[in-house]
Amino acid sequence: MMLIVVGANFRTAPMELRETLAFPGGKLSRALSELSARYGTETVILDTCNRVEIYLARLTGEALPDADLLAEFLGEFHGLPAAKVRPALYAHRGAEAVQHLFRVVSSLDSLVLGEGQIAGQVKDAYEKAQQAGTVGPVLHALFQHARIVGKRVRSETGIAQGKASVSSLAVDYLKQVFDHFGDKTVLVIGAGKMGELTLKHLKALRPGRILVTNRSPDKAREVAALCNGVPVPFEHLDQCLVSADVILSTTGAPEPIVTLERFQRLVPQRQGRPVAIIDIAVPRDFDPRLIHLDVVDLLINIDDLQAIREHVLRNRVKHVPAVEAIIQAEQERFLKDWSRRRAAPAIAKLYEQWESIRKEVQEECFRKLNGKLTAEDLAIIEGAFRLMQNKLLHAPLSVLREQGHEEGSGLLEAIYKLFRLRD
Amino acid sequence: MLERITILCFAASYGVALLLEAMQLLLGRSEWRRLAALLAGAAGLFAHTVYVVYHGLPMQGGPSSLLFVSWVLAIFYLVGTLHHPRLAWGVFVLPVVLVLVVAAKLIIASEPTIPPTPENLWFWAWLHAVLLILGSVGLSVGFVASVMFLVQAWKLKHKTPPGEGIQLLSLERLEVMNRRAITWAFPLFTAGLVIGLALLLNQEDFTLTDPKVIVTGLFWAVFALLLYLRYGLHIQGRRMALGTMIAFGIMLLAYVVQYIWPSAHPSGGGP
């Protein structure tokens, strides 16, 4: 199998370069077609915000283009000097390339260890290449196997355990407080960047009502429009604090906007209804002593969420050896399977050739002995011929099955030549 | 054969199930431990069911009422565990089941002589017992939900990461479970107690200072106060959970009081 992966990721290339090397929209299918046509290869491009990787493969034939040639292609395609691209590229060939893809799909090569998106992105890359008609038997087998590796790693190890994003962690906390959100009111205070993603996650919970308040009415309207919320004047914050079940606060206020005294005054109006507060503002918007109030079931701030995120990531690191072991085993399995698959036509041809020789010799023998042997004698002789054929073939076929995949061994080619299988 | 099934048989099975459930928490989740706990719990429930049917519970006196309540709670454990395999259901329900079973066993050892119920009042005595048992089941469920609520609330107040430690239902769901349980239990209790009071008034040696009557009256007052706090003053959450737990404690006391102090009560179905 001839296989190479050449790419740049967050470790080798800065964000600006990765952005330039990306293949948004129609660029991807154009690049896939151009690469396939130029080098006569199967091609898949994996393009995510943290990496751009080109997988090229061919069953047999000339050597595949190397990183220098692909740097030229990338430079040409994106209008950059190849010299600027080349230092950011890494390359892996053959078994190493297989291992690299398995590491990528297992998220061992991700910015956030154990993140779940990469498996879908790898699948997506494969499907887009398939639509562009640039996938052949090698990359088909490789990417199908990568899918299996990704599933095994996630189901058999704890690499993906826990949430590693601040916004999804916040939502997980909320789900421990409330069972359903259709009858809940979410109050969003402020319009900080940090809050946008969390608000997106909150919106996915389909709350009954979203109230948005901000010192700037324009900003409140802007955020409210994004989440189908209702903008509320900042002066009405107290009423909102009374009616809210979930509060997301992201202002840039220099001091807490909701003090213990202010909230305590409002508690009787809440009639015992509990509230969950996600305060991701820096500095904090809510007095931390609010957690001691009976109605406050949850008060979590950005530091708490970051600390949990780090804790989750530290835990995930413990599962890396188990993931590595799966990758190693799957890499070996893939290469063996591939070797068997690749050697299969040669084995079939060799067997066919020997079978036809055996039949030819056997028939000649039977013809000469015509009438002198019983049916039983003929069966014994035929069995002996078959046994001899199988014993002679056993060693070469076993070696072909086991070692046929080894690059550079030339074993398969030698078998084709020695036995004139191509004739 | 059936008479050889004793309280010890199912108490031991529940004990093993509880031990395995506790190991799930301490040593981490494992599928075989979960299945083993389920099997032990199911074996206990089977033996318990045979015992209940064979002995014609719950109409055989105070201990049998406790055994009947614990039997319903054991069903609640098994159904809950099957329905919520990832939650630490058994750790909360099984101790209550075991406490009730052990209490029943202890009471049986010191059971006073039960005066027979006059034949013309048999139906009312039966209804009195059934209503009190159903109310007890409701309050027991409320108690379990309250303990779970307090643990979950503690976890959230201490910002325990989601997915770590004991896994429980959301606070809202536990609060609803508690609220529904006590809302159903109270009218059943009240009706049962009114019938019981009417039956007691027929007895010649009945006095209002009877310890059973005092504790049961106290229990009813606490329960009524609990409902007033919930619906009248909108008290929710932690305080409601604590109130339910106190009511449950007094209910248990009402069950066992006649075995501690002499009482004129004919050891019927419940408090």
Query: What's the CATH code of the domain at A53?
Result: 3.30.460.30
Quote the crossing angle between the two packed helices A193-204 and A166-177, to the nearest 10°: 40
> Looking at beta carbons, which residues of chain A come within 8 Å of B162?
162-163, 169, 172-173, 175-176
Shortest Cα distance, chain A CAs vs residue B141, angstroms: 19
Say whether pLDDT at B234 is over 70. Answer: yes
More confidently predicted of A422 and A148? A148
- How many folded domains does chain A comprise? 3
* pLDDT per residue as tens digits for the range B78-100: 999 898 888 888 899 999 999 98
* Interface check A308 vs B, CB under 8 A: yes
Interfacial residues of B (vs A; Cβ cutoff 8 Å):
152-153, 155-157, 159, 161-163, 168-173, 176, 233-239
Contact flag B234-A271 (C-beta cutoff 8 Å): yes
Percent over 90 (pLDDT), chain B: 31
Those residues with Cβ within 8 angstroms of residue B37's Cβ, 6 or more apart along the chain or in another chain: B16, B17, B20, B21, B24, B81, B90
- Best of A297, A299, A316, A318 to substitute, by most chain B Cβ atoms within 10 angstroms, is A297
In this prediction, residue B184 carries a pLDDT of 92
- Best of A155, A165, A169, A179 to substitute, by most chain B Cβ atoms within 10 angstroms, is A179
Interface confidence (ipTM) of the complex: 0.82
Say whether pLDDT at A198 is over 90. Answer: no
Please state the separation of Cα A46 from the chain's center in Å.
10
Least confident of A42-46, A95-99, B32-36: B32-36
Claim to verify: residue A152 and residue A178 sit in the same structural domain: no
Nearest residue of B to residue A309, measured between CA atoms: B161
Claim to verify: residue A42 and residue A176 sit in the same structural domain: no
In this prediction, residue A420 carries a pLDDT of 84
In this prediction, residue A369 carries a pLDDT of 82
Do the beta carbons of residue A263 and residue A205 sit within 8 Å?
A: no
Which H or E run includes A212?
strand A209-214
Those residues with Cβ within 8 angstroms of residue B222's Cβ, 6 or more apart along the chain or in another chain: B243, B246, B247, B250
Contact flag A312-B170 (C-beta cutoff 8 Å): no
Nearest residue of A to residue B166, measured between CA atoms: A176
Say whether pLDDT at A197 is over 50. Answer: yes
Tell me the C-alpha distance between A198 and A280, whole Å. Answer: 9
Contact flag B171-A161 (C-beta cutoff 8 Å): no
Do the beta carbons of residue A159 and residue A113 sit within 8 Å?
A: yes
Domain boundary among A156, A182, A206: A156
Query: Which residue in the block uniquely carries the two structure tokens 């893939």?
Result: A334
Say whether pLDDT at B265 is over 60. Answer: no
Shortest CB distance from B235 goes to which of A163, A175, A272?
Answer: A272
More confidently predicted of A380 and B163? A380
* A123 torsion bin: left (phi>0), alpha (psi -120 to 50), beta (else): alpha
Say whether pLDDT at B116 is over 70. Answer: no
* Interface check A70 vs B, CB under 8 A: no
Distances in whole angstroms, Cα of residue B41 to Cα of each of B6, B16, B51, B85, B94: 16, 8, 15, 14, 9
In a domain, A320, yes or no: no
In a domain, A330, yes or no: no
Percent over 90 (pLDDT), chain A: 51
* Cβ neighbours around B175 below 10 Å, total: 25
In a domain, A161, yes or no: no
In this prediction, residue B244 carries a pLDDT of 92
In this prediction, residue B156 carries a pLDDT of 94
Sign of the alpha-carbon torsion through A313, A318, A319, A324: positive
Contact flag A179-B172 (C-beta cutoff 8 Å): yes
More confidently predicted of A71 and A112? A71
Confidence of residue A168 (pLDDT cuts 50, 70, 90): confident
Percent over 70 (pLDDT), chain B: 85
Contact flag A312-B236 (C-beta cutoff 8 Å): no
3-state secondary structure of A404: coil
Say whether pLDDT at A315 is over 70. Answer: yes
Contact flag A297-B239 (C-beta cutoff 8 Å): no
Q: Please state the rounded mean pLDDT for residues A98-117.
A: 91
Helical ranges in B28-121 per DSSP H? 31-54, 62-83, 89-109
* pLDDT per residue as tens digits for the range B35-51: 999 999 999 999 999 88
Q: Report the DSSP beta bridge partners of residue A48.
A: A51
Confidence of residue A234 (pLDDT cuts 50, 70, 90): very high
Shortest CB distance from A175 goes to which of B170, B176, B233?
Answer: B170
Confidence of residue B268 (pLDDT cuts 50, 70, 90): very low
Tell me the C-alpha distance between A257 and A194, whole Å. Answer: 18
Q: Please state the rounded mean pLDDT for residues A295-309.
A: 89
Claim to verify: residue A350 and residue A291 sit in the same structural domain: no
* Interface check A179 vs B, CB under 8 A: yes
Q: What is the dihedral of CA A218, A220, A222, A228, to 10 degrees?
A: -140
Nearest residue of B to residue A176, measured between CA atoms: B170
Contact flag A178-B171 (C-beta cutoff 8 Å): yes
Question: Which residues of A are the active-site residues?
Answer: 49
In this prediction, residue A404 carries a pLDDT of 59
Quote the crossing angle between the two packed helices B62-83 and B89-109, to the nearest 10°: 170
Claim to verify: residue A172 and residue A149 sit in the same structural domain: no
Name the burial class of residue A35, with classes exposed (0-12), middle (13-18) and buried (19+) by CB atoms within 10 angstroms of its CB.
Answer: buried
Rg of chain B in Å (alpha carbons): 19
List the structure tokens of B136: 């007890």
Shortest Cα distance, chain B CAs vs residue A153, angstroms: 18
Claim to verify: residue A11 and residue A145 sit in the same structural domain: yes
Say whether pLDDT at B264 is over 70. Answer: no
Confidence of residue B255 (pLDDT cuts 50, 70, 90): confident
> Looking at beta carbons, which residues of chain A come within 8 Å of B150?
none
Which H or E run includes A54?
strand A51-58
Q: Please state the rounded mean pLDDT for residues A15-30.
A: 88
* pLDDT per residue as tens digits for the range A38-85: 999 999 999 988 899 999 998 777 789 999 999 999 999 999 999 999
In this prediction, residue A137 carries a pLDDT of 85
Which H or E run includes A188?
strand A185-189
Claim to verify: residue A270 and residue A349 sit in the same structural domain: no
Least confident of A263-267, A340-344, A348-352: A340-344
Please state the separation of Cα B83 from the chain's center in Å.
21
* Cβ neighbours around A210 below 10 Å, total: 23
Q: Please state the rounded mean pLDDT for residues A26-35.
A: 92
Q: Report the DSSP beta bridge partners of residue A188.
A: A212, A248
Claim to verify: residue A77 and residue A178 sit in the same structural domain: no
> Looking at beta carbons, which residues of chain A come within 8 Å of B239?
294
Name the burial class of residue A378, with classes exposed (0-12), middle (13-18) and buried (19+) by CB atoms within 10 angstroms of its CB.
Answer: middle
Say whether pLDDT at B115 is over 80. Answer: no
| Domain limits for position A29 | 2-156
Those residues with Cβ within 8 angstroms of residue B197's Cβ, 6 or more apart along the chain or in another chain: none
> Looking at beta carbons, which residues of chain B come within 8 Å of A180?
172
In this prediction, residue B1 carries a pLDDT of 64
Do the beta carbons of residue A320 and residue A101 sit within 8 Å?
A: no
Planar angle of CA B134, B138, B143, nearest 5 degrees: 145
Contact flag B172-A177 (C-beta cutoff 8 Å): yes
Quote the crossing angle between the two packed helices B89-109 and B237-260, to the nearest 10°: 20
Contact flag B237-A175 (C-beta cutoff 8 Å): no
Do the beta carbons of residue A126 and residue A30 sit within 8 Å?
A: no
* pLDDT per residue as tens digits for the range B126-168: 888 888 888 888 999 999 999 999 999 999 999 988 878 888 9
In this prediction, residue B133 carries a pLDDT of 85
Strand A185-189 and strand A51-58: pairing?
unpaired
* Cβ neighbours around B17 below 10 Å, total: 29
Domain boundary among A138, A156, A174: A156
Which H or E run includes A296?
strand A296-301
Claim to verify: residue A269 and residue A127 sit in the same structural domain: no
Shortest Cα distance, chain B CAs vs residue A293, angstroms: 10
Tell me the C-alpha distance between B196 and B103, whole Å. Answer: 22
Claim to verify: residue A223 and residue A309 sit in the same structural domain: yes
- DSSP annotation string for B247-271: HHHHHHHHHHHHHHS--SS---S--
Q: Calculate the average pLDDT of chain A.
A: 89
Q: Lay out the sheet containing A275-279: strands in order across.
A: A230-233, A209-214, A185-189, A246-249, A275-279, A296-301
Please state the separation of Cα B236 from the chain's center in Å.
22
In this prediction, residue A422 carries a pLDDT of 72
In a domain, A286, yes or no: yes
Q: Please state the rounded mean pLDDT for residues B225-251.
A: 88
Contact flag B163-A162 (C-beta cutoff 8 Å): yes
Claim to verify: residue A184 and residue A112 sit in the same structural domain: no
CATH number at residue A171: 3.40.50.720
Claim to verify: residue A149 and residue A195 sit in the same structural domain: no
- Best of A155, A173, A176 to substitute, by most chain B Cβ atoms within 10 angstroms, is A176
Contact flag B171-A176 (C-beta cutoff 8 Å): yes
In this prediction, residue A112 carries a pLDDT of 84
Sign of the alpha-carbon torsion through A411, A414, A420, A423: positive
Claim to verify: residue A174 and residue A292 sit in the same structural domain: yes
In this prediction, residue B12 carries a pLDDT of 92
Which H or E run includes A44?
strand A42-48
Do the beta carbons of residue A233 and residue A217 sit within 8 Å?
A: yes
The closest alpha carbon to A243, from A252, A230, A260, belongs to A230
Nearest residue of B to residue A169, measured between CA atoms: B162
